[in-house]
């Protein structure tokens, strides 16, 4: 879905307001964190933290490598 959103000045910042129907469809509420990621094509708004995703991949590799040690520590 493509929706044009007008940017507005809010104090010293610039803000964008999502239409109510879009926010409801995406299960977004006031105060929810979202991340703005600059891409070659423009700006991507996402609720997923890319740093967290990278950290989880590192954790998963370590958890597989040391699964026996982690199992012993959990006892």
10, containing H or E segment: strand 7-10
* Listed residue (53, 34, 54) closest to 45, CA to CA: 34
* Phi, psi at 65, each rounded to 5°: -65, -40
- Prediction pTM value: 0.57
**pLDDT over threshold 80, residue 1:** no
Length of the chain equals: 75
Using CA atoms, how far apart are residues 5 and 1, in angstroms rounded to an integer? 12
**What average pLDDT does the segment 10-14 reach?**
93
Q: Percent of the chain having pLDDT more than 70?
A: 100
Q: What average pLDDT does the segment 12-36 reach?
A: 91
Report how far residue 55's alpha carbon sits from residue 33's, in angstroms, rounded to the nearest whole number: 18
The per-residue pLDDT of the chain, averaged, comes to: 89
Q: What is the pLDDT of residues 38-62, one digit of tens each?
A: 999 999 888 888 788 788 888 888 8
């Amino acid at each position: 879905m493509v929706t044009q959103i007008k940017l507005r000045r809010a104090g010293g910042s610039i803000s964008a307001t999502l239409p109510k129907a879009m926010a409801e469809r995406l299960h977004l509420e006031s105060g929810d964190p979202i991340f703005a990621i600059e891409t070659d094509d423009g700006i991507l708004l996402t609720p997923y933290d890319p740093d967290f995703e990278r950290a989880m991949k590192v954790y998963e590799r370590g958890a597989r490598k040391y699964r026996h040690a982690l199992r012993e520590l959990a006892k």
